Amino acid sequence: MKLLVIEDDDETGEFIKNGLVQAGHKVDLTDNGQDGLYLATTGNFDLIVIDRMLPLVDGLTIVRTLRASDNRIPIVVLSALGEIDHRVAGLNAGADDYLVKPFAFSELEARVGALLRRVTPEGPETSLCVGDLEMNLITREVGRNGKSIDLQPREFRLLEYLMRHAGQVLTRTMLLEHVWDYHFDPQTNVIDVHVSRLRSKIDKGFEVQLLHTVRGAGYKLASL
């Protein structure tokens, strides 16, 4: 998903942007309301995270302007103003959610995810495909160019996560959290071992390599 973050505090803005990027989103960041309003009205974003108190144009003015033009993009307002009257004012202006600073990033990520699920059409997803690599989510069968690939449960889960985020660089932290359910780094080579085994199964014997190591960053599944 493509998100816009409008936050005038540089440290907070970078913190939010980096977290959302690690969560798999594309993120544009600006530090003032004037540029934020321009991007919000001209860019093709799926959601906006906006600070309430901004230079040049304040956050609620941006929200009202977008709603007045019948722009229904989901908006999360961030603010140090946490009194009930302030929260009500933000929601009445047209925001979909209002999060009081300071906040835990995990809560912001959860709220962003909840809003995106509301506007993303959901259908019965039964398969994933990257290049000539196919995964059937119902039968849990994997194949490439007509050749069946036998995967262990953890390898299947790892490949599914890679395929769902095809083209994105996935960090060690992201793989540990989403594939192994670790919220800390156990300082083992478990990821390297599983990636190596998975690569030998899906890439060996094929001219085009799909599973790439991005030095110093992580791994990426891509057909190009």
> CA-to-CA distance for 163 and 37, rounded, in angstroms?
34
- Longest distance between any two alpha carbons in the chain, whole Å: 64
CA atoms within 13 A on the CB side of 56: 13
What are the pLDDT digits (tens) for 28-75? 999 999 999 999 998 889 999 999 999 999 999 999 999 999 899 999
Domain ranges for the chain: 2-119, 127-221
Strands 2-6 and 26-30: parallel
Distances (CA, A) of 219 to 65, 110, 171, 184: 41, 24, 7, 18
What are the pLDDT digits (tens) for 108-117? 999 999 998 8
Question: Which two three-digit tokens encode residue 13?
Answer: 């803005």
Q: What average pLDDT does the segment 86-102 reach?
A: 93
Q: What is the DSSP letter of 69?
A: T
Minimal CA–CA distance to 135: which of 124, 125, 123? Answer: 125
Do 2-119 and 127-221 agree at the fold level?
no
> CA-to-CA distance for 106 and 19, rounded, in angstroms?
9
> For the domain bounded by 127-221, which CATH number is listed?
1.10.10.10
Instruction: Give residue 119's pLDDT.
Output: 73
Cα distance from N-terminal residue to C-terminal residue, the chain: 21
What are the pLDDT digits (tens) for 169-191? 999 889 998 899 887 777 788 99
Instruction: Give residue 24's pLDDT.
Output: 83
DSSP labels for 122-191?
A: -----EEEETTEEEETTTTEEEETTEEE---HHHHHHHHHHHHTTTS-B-HHHHHHHTS--SS---SSHH
Q: Is residue 172 within 8 Å of residue 191, measured between CB atoms?
A: yes
Superfamily of domain covering 2-119: Response regulator (3.40.50.2300)
